Amino acid sequence: MIFLKHAVLATLFVALGTCVCDVMAAGPSTGKAPSGDGLLVKPYEGSQFEWQKDHGFIAVELPAGPPDASAKGGKGKTEVLEGYVTQVAYSTDNLKRSTLEIARNYESALQAGGFKLVFKCSAREKSCGPYSTEPLLGSFPKQDEYYVLGRSLDKSTGETLTLAIRVPQPSYHHVIVVRGKAMDTGKAKVDASAMEKGLAAQGHMALYGILFDFGKSSLQAESAATLTEIAALLKQQPNLKLHVVGHTDNVGSFDANLTLSRARAATVVDALVKQHGIASNRLMAHGASSMAPVATNRTDAGRAENRRVELVEM
């Protein structure tokens, strides 16, 4: 029997039939039971907990749509999610269950628990497509693989919960939880003085305290402190004029990222003008897409560095 219910710490607990996924995870926890967001999904009855890996705040690319014959290699739609990622592996080696049975149990449980089904696919039906994804998924899809992606809102915290259930073989499967919330910030504060020194030394200053909703140009509340410091700098130096430049990583198309980076820069300028009284003729918004990386785009850490807003002295 499968069910979904709320637990104490705003977690969604799904009683499902579970196994272990084909995922490469360095340094997983091999305790006797899952913990934290690993408890969001209760495993398929009779399955054995193998390990849990808490990846922390990262960006992960997950399959989110069927294969597209017009795309290069028939690649299917994917989406890049940023949040706290937890991955749990289970074994069902002794249960003699099919990948279809296990996957359908999870799918039913997620829907019963109020999750919206975003995507599901079957390798045998060739509905998964030849995805090129993060190392989190490894080789995808396996010959007999079933995959389910669901999403819901944790009403207690306002955070988005995305659950990916991957059943590559009857003997194991993985549950991947992405809790969409902002990473911890404020650990390296950049105040007006630091901005002034950076501009004087290099003519530009990268800022990481300006945060946006995923894939959008809307500012998150955590951005307020950095915006206040930019305004303070501009008020201290009434002759200073700045280019505000949005930068992205290389995930997604260049054109889409160019539009997004421009929109994000424009949002920053708009906030400085309307909320802090800065004259609009002192600021110009620009977007650079992924053309000016400061780190490699081949790693999560590098992509995080490349997603930034820069101030450039006019």
pLDDT digits (tens, 9 = 90+) for 12-41: 444 443 333 333 333 455 568 888 888 888
**Other CB atoms closer than 10 Å to residue 285's CB: what's the count?**
18
pLDDT at 208 over 80: yes
Whether residues 124 and 44 share a domain: the answer is yes
Q: Are residues 176 and 197 in the same domain?
A: no
Q: Are 233 and 195 in contact (CB under 8 A)?
A: yes
Q: Is residue 257 part of a domain?
A: yes
Which comes out higher in pLDDT, residue 113 or 151?
Answer: 151
Report if residue 186 sits inside a domain: no
The reply to whether 79 and 52 lie within a common domain is yes
Chain position carrying tokens 């269950």: 97
pLDDT digits (tens, 9 = 90+) for 114-138: 889 999 999 999 998 887 677 788 8
The pLDDT value recorded for residue 80 is 81
Would you state the pLDDT for residue 3? Answer: 33
Q: 226 in a domain, yes or no?
A: yes
Q: Convert the chain into a string of H (helix), E (strand) and C (coil).
A: CCEEEECCCCCEEEECCCCCCCCCCCCCECCCCCCHHHHCEECCCCCEEEEEEEEEEEEEEEEEEEECCCCHHHCEEEEEEEEEEEEEEEECCCCCCCHHHHHHHHHHHHHHCCCEEEEEEECCCCCCCCCCCCCCCCCCCCCCCEEEEEEEEECCCCEEEEEEEEEEECCEEEEEEEEECCCCCCCCCCCHHHHHHHHHHHCEEEECCCCECCCCCCECHHHHHHHHHHHHHHHHCCCCCEEEEEECCCCCCHHHHHHHHHHHHHHHHHHHHHHHCCCHHHEEEEECCCCCCCCCCCCHHHHHHHCEEEEEEC
Mean predicted confidence (pLDDT) in 159-184: 86
Does 187 reside within a domain?
Answer: no
pLDDT surpasses 60 at 183: no
Q: Are 164 and 28 members of one domain?
A: yes
Domain boundary residue among 156, 180, 204?
Answer: 180
Q: Where does a domain end: 146, 180, 214? A: 180
- Backbone dihedral angles phi then psi of residue 298, each to the nearest 5 degrees: -90, -5
Is 240 inside a domain boundary?
Answer: yes
Which carries the bigger pLDDT value, residue 220 or residue 11?
220
Answer whether residue 169 is part of any domain. yes
Q: Evaluate if residue 4 carries a pLDDT over 70.
A: no
The yes-or-no verdict on residue 1 having pLDDT over 90 is no
Residue 185 lies in a domain: no
> Does residue 131 sit in the same domain as residue 212?
no
Whether 23 and 156 share a structural domain: yes
Kindly state whether residue 17 falls inside one of the protein's structural domains. yes
CATH number of the CATH domain containing 258 = 3.30.1330.60
146 vs 136: which has the higher pLDDT: 146
Q: Are residues 155 and 278 in the same domain?
A: no
pLDDT of residue 291: 94
Instruction: Among 49-53, 198-202, 309-313, name the one with the lowest average pLDDT.
Output: 198-202
pLDDT tens digit string along 34-93?
888 888 888 898 999 999 999 888 888 888 888 877 766 667 788 888 888 999 999 999
Q: In whole numbers, what is the pLDDT of the chain averaged over residues?
A: 83
Which of the listed residues 180, 202, 229 is the one where a domain comes to its end?
180
Q: Quote the number of domains for the chain.
A: 2
Same domain, 18 and 139: yes
Residues 27 and 132 in one domain: yes
Shared-domain flag, residues 140 and 51: yes
Cα gap 34→42, rounded to integer Å = 9
In a shared domain, residues 104 and 37: yes
| Spatial distance between the Cα atoms of 183 and 180, rounded to a whole number of angstroms | 9
Q: pLDDT band at 181, cuts 50/70/90?
A: low
Report the share of the chain in percent with pLDDT over 70: 85
Same-domain status, 176 and 242: no
Task: Please say if the pLDDT value at position 193 is more than 90.
Answer: no
Select the more confidently predicted residue: 279 or 297: 279
Contact 51, 89 (CB under 8 A): yes
268 is in which domain, residue-wise? 192-313
